[in-house]
Chain A
Amino acid sequence: MSMTIRADSQANELLQTVEALSGQRLAACYQCGTCAATCPFVAAMDLPPDRLIQQLRFGLPGVLERRAFWVCVGCDSCAERCPRAIAVPRVMEALRLIAIRERGDRLAVAQLPAATLRDLPPIALVASLRRNTG
């Protein structure tokens, strides 16, 4: 099997949209992996943040199907440490937003169990709705 990788970012519509929405320039990333080493949730991600950025830059298929950006809660640990000053949580949020626009909400609030709703602090639900629904 062969795959064409295009370094030409003009042709990479997803990358352009992510950069526009996040305000981050992903060409700056030199793949040091600090974000992945820092992330408290990297074990639950199906692709660590640095590789997600790499696949995005190469225009590889399947980025929007990943779980990684739904796992990120925006704790900003990676953003504080990134030597290239990339705010990775903004990249993650841009991917969530694009996925929601294309496929709809990830969280069906009307289907949450009553017991969950009874006990949750309101901030948990507000934050989850803001990150998982359009």
Chain B
Amino acid sequence: MQLAYYPGCTIKASARQHEQAALAILRALGVELREMAEWNCCGVVHTLTSANLIRHMAPVRVLARLRQQGAHEVVTLCDMCFNTLARANLLARQQPEQFAAISASTDSELRYDGDASVLHLLQVLRDRVGLAALRARVRRPLRELRVYPYYGCKLLRPSTVGIDDPEIPTLLRDLLEALGATVIEGHLQTRCCGAYQAVDQPELVAERVTATAAQARAGGAEAIVLSCPLCHFNFDTLQPRNGAPLPVFYYTQVIGLAFGLEPEELGLETRQIDQLPPLRQRDRAQAKGGAA
């Protein structure tokens, strides 16, 4: 399976390990992502007023370039990119007059009529690859691992573009259970982490990630598993430093571990593996077994 791939800025900056892990597990599953030849930032947040048409240009340009490059659908890893591109796509189909205005202001350099589809990698894994195929590829079931899947906002809301039930999603649970992990759940899984407030109101983010991590820990979770690079940054840097913060992993990295891939193929440092007691114990046991 070959799919066009839109990385987004952060996948190339602070979230490179997510891309590395995604490419590794997709190789193992026989899926090839082909990065778009030229692409720009999607704009990250969908513009919510009728006055700022210029701010729709970034996602429209991504979709227009996708079509120019001959593809009809595109996969994203980043939840923010997915949401912004999918909503721009929806707008292109529902309000073509707004897009005509954008096109006119650029000498028709930007032409797009809503005929592409935007996919999140999780959709590809669930709907194209299938969880059964994922389960069949598992070489190292994560049986001893207790994880708290965190959905955040952009995978689910608004429900017009979300990829699972906005109130009671099951996608990450199903995925992690297919890998053999024990899933801990709670109502904060779908509550926003504070997103870009990390820039100048980090206290808002700290309050949210602290509460969510506390719920995960109270349920017995040893790690938080999530998808969005901004959630990842917030959970990684803004959990309280007193007491041990819960480690944070991209779902791609957890899939890779279950596939038996090496941590370095998944952008994981030894330090991070050491934060997962069951994996560390098993690695020790295997090392002993191998030596004997």
- Whether A and B touch directly in their complex, counting CB atoms under 8 A apart, is answered as yes
Residues of A within 8 Å of B45, CB to CB, are 74, 126-127, 130-131
Inter-chain contact A126/B44, CB cutoff 8 Å? yes
Q: A41-B204, A124-B233 are in contact. Are A23 and B9 (CB under 8 A)?
A: no
Inter-chain contact B13/A75, CB cutoff 8 Å? no
Inter-chain contact B50/A20, CB cutoff 8 Å? yes
Among A40, A128, A132, find the residue whose CB has the most chain B CB atoms closer than 10 A.
A40
Q: Give, as a whole number of angstroms, the nearest-CB distance from A16 to chain B.
A: 13
Please tell me if A110 contacts chain B, counting CB pairs below 8 Å: no
Inter-chain contact B159/A40, CB cutoff 8 Å? no
Q: A73-B192, A79-B157 are in contact. Are A21 and B204 (CB under 8 A)?
A: no
Kindly state the separation between the CA atoms of A94 and B153 in the bound complex, as whole angstroms: 21
Chain A, interface size: which category? 35 or more
Inter-chain contact A128/B199, CB cutoff 8 Å? yes
Q: A73-B192, A112-B200, A116-B199 are in contact. Are A121 and B48 (CB under 8 A)?
A: no
Q: A22-B49, A73-B192 are in contact. Are A123 and B8 (CB under 8 A)?
A: yes
Closest to A67 in B: B201
Kindly state the separation between the CA atoms of A75 and B153 in the bound complex, as whole angstroms: 6
Q: Which of B41, B49, B78 contacts A90 (CB 8 A)?
A: B49
Closest to B9 in A: A122
Kindly state the separation between the CA atoms of A65 and B208 in the bound complex, as whole angstroms: 25
Inter-chain contact B201/A93, CB cutoff 8 Å? no
Q: A75-B192, A130-B47 are in contact. Are A125 and B158 (CB under 8 A)?
A: no
Please tell me if B230 contacts chain A, counting CB pairs below 8 Å: yes
Q: A75-B192, A77-B191, A80-B157 are in contact. Are A93 and B167 (CB under 8 A)?
A: no
- Would you list which residues of chain B between 154 and 168 have a CB under 8 Å from chain A? 157-159, 166-167
Closest to B191 in A: A40
Q: Give, as a whole number of angstroms, the nearest-CB distance from A88 to chain B.
A: 10
Inter-chain contact B49/A127, CB cutoff 8 Å? no
- Would you list which residues of chain B between 223 and 246 have a CB under 8 Å from chain A? 229-230, 233, 237
Q: Give, as a whole number of angstroms, the nearest-CB distance from B193 to chain A.
A: 9
Q: A124-B199, A130-B43 are in contact. Are A97 and B9 (CB under 8 A)?
A: no
Closest to A38 in B: B191
Kindly state the separation between the CA atoms of A116 and B199 in the bound complex, as whole angstroms: 7
Please tell me if B55 contacts chain A, counting CB pairs below 8 Å: yes
Q: Which of A20, A107, A120, A127 contacts B80 (CB 8 A)?
A: A127
Inter-chain contact B230/A124, CB cutoff 8 Å? yes
Inter-chain contact B49/A73, CB cutoff 8 Å? no
Kindly state the separation between the CA atoms of A97 and B52 in the bound complex, as whole angstroms: 9
Please tell me if B10 contacts chain A, counting CB pairs below 8 Å: yes
Residues of A within 8 Å of B81, CB to CB, are 123
Inter-chain contact B158/A79, CB cutoff 8 Å? yes
Kindly state the separation between the CA atoms of A24 and B48 in the bound complex, as whole angstroms: 11
Residues of A within 8 Å of B198, CB to CB, are 120, 124
Binding site for B on A (CB under 8 A): 20-23, 40-41, 43-44, 71, 73-77, 79-80, 87, 89-90, 92-94, 97, 107, 112, 116, 119-128, 130-132
Pairs of residues from A and B, 10 with the lowest C-beta to C-beta distance, nearest first: A75-B192, A127-B196, A93-B48, A76-B157, A128-B199, A122-B9, A75-B153, A121-B10, A127-B44, A21-B49
List 8 additional contacts besides A40-B194, A130-B55; criterion CB under 8 Å: A20-B50, A75-B153, A76-B158, A77-B157, A123-B229, A124-B198, A125-B199, A126-B43
